[in-house]
Structure 1
């Protein structure tokens, strides 16, 4: 038995012994799950890969009309809506935003996605939004871009140039007795998640506000660590590193990712999965056995 076969057996044993859910693939996020099939709610994800970085954690996957959209959802564990009344000084009201998982885990998820966003809203009657209100980033920075790009001072209507009063940067800054609102998404991954929503200007009886925080929503998959495609009904007996009970195709792929020498996968009708040290694309045809009981998949590794 070669050294890499011994190493493969050790890695596989560790995988089967210590993964929280060894019967299924642990995807990086819901986008990757959408490429694989089955779904359990909540979903265990591992954004930065097996045996490195953050610990796996649970998220929600958005489902519309019974189908996965690929969007990963993290809902804050705090009250999503808070009344703001009796707080006059700038930022004196604190809507503290908490999450079930650590900020490091959330950042890992965002870094595995192509885009993320988080919804914020302030409903107001006679209460100025900015500068009495702002939000606080994960780095503790005071942010005055209320649903607008980082660096913009103001709200979404001010950014678009369609506030009811063109001289104002927010609807709430009109500061009358009409119920108004300022809302939008923060989509700068370098500042998310929102840690606090801060408000003020509600010290008088006619002044009132409602603070609302939405979930973190992430889409896309930035770091694909490999592709697998069906090649043919063949088996390469001379190049098998190890054969395992077949649990799912993506579980076999994850095991192949663990082993540097693994270049392809063969699955047979008897529910076993063979990890191979060679690609069928690179060996002589005389070394390939045609066998309709096997489905052979080629694994193409991609640098992150």
Structure 2
């Protein structure tokens, strides 16, 4: 309920008059009453002012209430909006929950798919690994012995390849080499461009450490192949070489007859030459070329010549390669400098085929047969000897080739010579009219001489028809036929008349025989010789009444 200031004052005055009464009317007119009246007025003014202040505050409160009402309406609208937002968020939350469920399902499906893919990849990896192992095994079985063989199979790209110089599935494992299919022989106009290069751990330029004594610096060389495989490669190649580059400054390679530098061959023997032209002397052109600052003194022996020299030497001795260690010395002061670079072992071409059949285990190795075991070799003509070849040993080892007593006869020698006519020329070799067999062509029927084509034990058999006609009983007659070796009698065949009848002529027909074994060397001659008498024949039927048979019984 609204109140104004004036009505409130009037109400207050009514209350005052009612309390005091009209009997007090005239008391106020005194001076004291006048003073009280003034105080009353002041009090009334204060009350009015206070009332006005309260009225203002009430107005302000009404405005504030109105503002609060509007705020309340706005708050209600905000709450409604928040409710709407909350409902939207709940819906969005539900949608998100559904999305999360879908994502979970998708993730689970993807996880299963990933597991299946991983399992499939593992199966593929396993299959690929098995295939690689299989291909590697196949590669080991068919690995060529040299890069040249690989080139003949159609490979034209240079690169690293597996080769097996000592033979497939025997000896050491295949080795990995660099096959250079493009760089030709020096000066060959690419006549044979294929090179097999065995690499090692000392191919980079390496500083020679400062030290004073002969060979005090040592560099052992480790190859990417076993020594057995390397030697097999060398044996099968037309040529092999290694290049040494030696850069030096003010270094003395030799001091009088004392060499300060050398290298070790595959047998561990020191070699003092650095180029094949100097193989017979202790030579070092720094140590590799003769083009030094002072041409009369090698490798800058004049210490005043301090410029660096680069020298190259080539080692091509197949019995020494590969180089297994380098030794240098005489690099004493900081002024002296030396570096070395050792090239890979480079082999080219194919070794000249050995005799067929091979004559030794060495020729077998050079022909590429590097399997340890029993082999046939043709040491002697007409036979193949069985020997044990220890291909895992060096050829200088006494056990490299071991002999056995076994052999196989290679060339057969048989003949059967005959006569169809009589022969009565005394002191003469009996010739023949022909041969039934003459394997080896060692019998010459026209001369009657057999010439041994190979060493061995030979058997000979002689059968002939002899006839003795005794015309004078007082002087009996007979036949003497001998088998000769190089003109010397070695066997006799004798026939003599029997039962001599003094009253009439006696005819004695016989078919004597003789056999002998002879130890012959190549070129020895054997014949039958008529000393006296005659050999007989069937004139009418052309019978072969004399046979001389011989054959090789045991080659030596």
> Given the two structures, how large is their TM-score scaled by the length of structure 1?
0.59
Distance 1:161 1:206 in 2: 22
Q: Given the alignment of the two structures, is residue 104 of structure 1 paired with residue 217 of structure 2, yes or no?
A: no
Rg larger in structure? 2
Q: Tell me, yes or no, if the aligned pair for 2:198 and 2:344 is still in contact at 8 Å.
A: yes
CA shift for structure 1 position 158: 8.6
Task: Find 1:143's aligned residue among 249, 260, 271.
Answer: 271
Unaligned runs of 5+ in 1: 1-16, 226-304
Instruction: Verify: 1:59 aligned to 2:188, yes or no.
Output: no
Mean Cα displacement is larger for which, 55-64 or 149-158? 149-158
Given that 1:62 and 1:70 are in contact with CA atoms closer than 8 Å, whether structure 2 keeps it comes out as yes
Structure 2's unaligned 5+ residue stretches are 1-133, 184-189, 355-556
In structure 2, the CA distance between the partners of 1:156 and 1:221, relative to structure 1 (3 Å rule), is: farther
Q: Which 10-residue stretch deviates more, 155-164 or 89-98? A: 155-164
Of 316, 321, 339, which residue of structure 2 is paired with 1:187? 316
Deviation at 1:213, TM superposition (A): 0.8
Report deviation, 1:142: 1.3
What is the match of residue 127 of structure 2? none
Q: Tell me: CA distance 1:69–1:22, structure 2 relative to 1, closer, same or farther (3 Å).
A: same
Once the two structures are superposed, the pairs formed by residues 44-193 of structure 1 within 5 Å of their partners are 44-64=162-182, 69-78=193-202, 80-130=204-254, 131-149=259-277, 150-155=279-284, 163-168=292-297, 170-175=298-303, 176-193=305-322
Q: 1:178 Cα deviation (Å)?
A: 2.2
Distance 1:161 1:185, change over 3 A: closer
Separation in 2, partners of 1:192, 1:98? 13
- Aligned partners of 1:160 and 1:182: how far apart in 2? 6
Q: How far off is 1:73 after superposition?
A: 0.7
The SS at the match of 1:146 is coil
Q: Which has the higher contact order (CA 8 A, sep 6+)?
A: 1
Residue in 2 that maps onto 1:217: 346
Normalising by structure 2, we get a TM-score of 0.34
The alignment status of 1:33 with 2:150, answered yes or no, reads yes
Tell me which protein shows more helix as a share of its residues.
Answer: 2
Aligned-residue CA RMSD (Å): 3.1
Instruction: State how far apart, in whole Å, the 2-side matches of 1:54 and 1:115 are.
Output: 22
Q: Shift of the alpha carbon at 1:208?
A: 1.1
Quote the residue 1:201 is aligned against.
330
**Structure 2: distance between partners of 1:186 and 1:133:** 15
1:108 counterpart SS class: helix
Distance in 1 separating the partners of 2:352 and 2:164: 12
Residues 228-267 of structure 1: pairs in structure 2 closer than 5 A = none
Partners of 1:157 and 1:208 lie apart in 2 by 11
Query: What do the CA deviations read for 1:77-96 (whole angstroms, capped 9, x no partner)?
Result: 24632112421111111122
Q: Deviations over 1:254-288 (max 9, x none)?
A: xxxxxxxxxxxxxxxxxxxxxxxxxxxxxxxxxxx
Q: Tell me if the contact between 1:125 and 1:208 (Cα under 8 Å) persists in the aligned partners.
A: yes
Q: 1:99 to 1:23 in 2, by over 3 A?
A: closer
- Partners of 1:26 and 1:46 within 8 A in 2: yes
Asked if 2 retains the 8 angstrom alpha-carbon contact of 1:148 and 1:155, the reply is: no
